[in-house]
Amino acid sequence: MQSISGKVKRIKQAKDEALAEIDQYRMQRDLQFRRTQSKMMGFQGDLLEEIEAQTPEKMKDLRENYHKHTESQLAQVLNMVCDVNPEIHTNYRTTN
């Protein structure tokens, strides 16, 4: 039978071993997290670079389309506004 002081020593030793295992596990998980995070940040960085490279080209296309279609769209809007066909509304009732 072990003495009480022997049991206390064994409990302290077990506690220290458990803390060491916890620290080791924590470091492994932290390292794994950092690797995953760096992969994701690299992936996002690549996407960001691709988007930044495509943006000027898309802006150029939008400007060209704007200038190409502005006149025709403006003419169409003016025709719709200026072409007045006075009609009596179908819900209008004359009182006699």
Mean pLDDT value of segment 8-20? 92
- Classified as helix, coil or strand, 84 is coil
**Distance (Å, rounded) from C-alpha 16 to C-alpha 10?**
10
- The DSSP secondary-structure symbol of 96 reads -
Is pLDDT at 7 greater than 90 in this prediction? Answer: no
Q: What percent of the chain has pLDDT over 90?
A: 50
Q: What percent of the chain is predicted at pLDDT more than 70?
A: 97
